[in-house]
């Protein structure tokens, strides 16, 4: 339907081989750039996390440990989401 092509394929085998080598080299450069960019982001993120961990003081452990619950008791916290009125 559309007869327009951007670049017709070269017929000479050396030109085709050169295009293949140049395309492969460009692909390797782009992949290497992406790899080094990912490594730089990972190192930068690790430095930020380490800096934040060193900057904020660690809380000292509380003096006495909390008393243990009796056997068969499950401890936890809850929050009342909705209180329904009592039915009469």
Q: Which residues of 15-37 are buried (b: 16+ CB within 10 A; e: fewer)?
A: eeeeeeeeeeeeeeeeeeeeeee
pLDDT computed for residue 68 by the predictor: 80
pLDDT band for position 65 (cuts 50, 70, 90): confident
pLDDT computed for residue 31 by the predictor: 97
pTM greater than the 0.75 cutoff: no
Instruction: At 40, give phi and psi (nearest 5°).
Output: -65, -40
């Amino acid at each position: 339907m559309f007869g327009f092509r951007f670049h017709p394929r070269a017929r000479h085998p050396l030109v085709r081989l050169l295009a293949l080598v140049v395309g492969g080299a460009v692909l390797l450069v782009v992949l290497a750039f992406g790899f080094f960019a990912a490594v730089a982001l990972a190192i930068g993120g690790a430095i930020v996390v380490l800096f934040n961990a060193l900057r904020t003081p660690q809380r000292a452990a509380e003096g006495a440990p909390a008393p243990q619950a009796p056997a068969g008791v499950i401890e936890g916290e809850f929050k009342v989401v909705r209180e329904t009125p009592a039915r009469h």
